[in-house]
Amino acid sequence: METMDQGMEIRTVERRSPSARRETLWVGRGVVTVGIVSALLAGLGRGSADADVPLGTYQVRFRDASPEVQRMARELWAGLEDVIRLRTPKDEWPGIRALEEDLVGPFAGIRGWTWEFRQRGPFIGYLGRPEPGTDHPAYLLHLQENVPHPGRVALDEFHRRLGDGTIVHVGVWFHRAPGPGPEAIRMPEREGWTEVVQGRTRLER
Residues 9-57 pLDDT 10s = 443 334 344 444 444 444 445 444 444 444 444 444 443 344 456 789 9
Task: Tell me: pLDDT of 104 over 60.
Answer: yes
Measured CA distances, 89 to 86, 113, 164, 205 (Å): 9, 30, 8, 20
Q: Is residue 2 part of a domain?
A: no
- CA-based nearest residue to 170, from 182, 184, 160, 185: 160
pLDDT at position 53, please? 63
Q: Is residue 202 part of a domain?
A: no
Q: Is residue 131 part of a domain?
A: yes
* Mean pLDDT of the chain, nearest integer: 76
Dihedral sign from CA coordinates of 175, 179, 183, 189: negative
Q: Which tops the pLDDT comparison, 1 or 176?
A: 176
Q: Is residue 6 part of a domain?
A: no
pTM above 0.95, yes or no: no
Q: Is residue 153 part of a domain?
A: yes
Residue 169 one-letter amino acid: H
**How many domains does the chain divide into?**
1
What is the residue range of 21's domain? Answer: 13-197
Q: Is residue 28 part of a domain?
A: yes
Q: Is residue 114 part of a domain?
A: yes
Q: How many alpha carbons fall within 13 Å on the CB side of residue 22?
A: 10
Task: Tell me: pLDDT of 175 over 60.
Answer: yes
Q: Is residue 5 part of a domain?
A: no
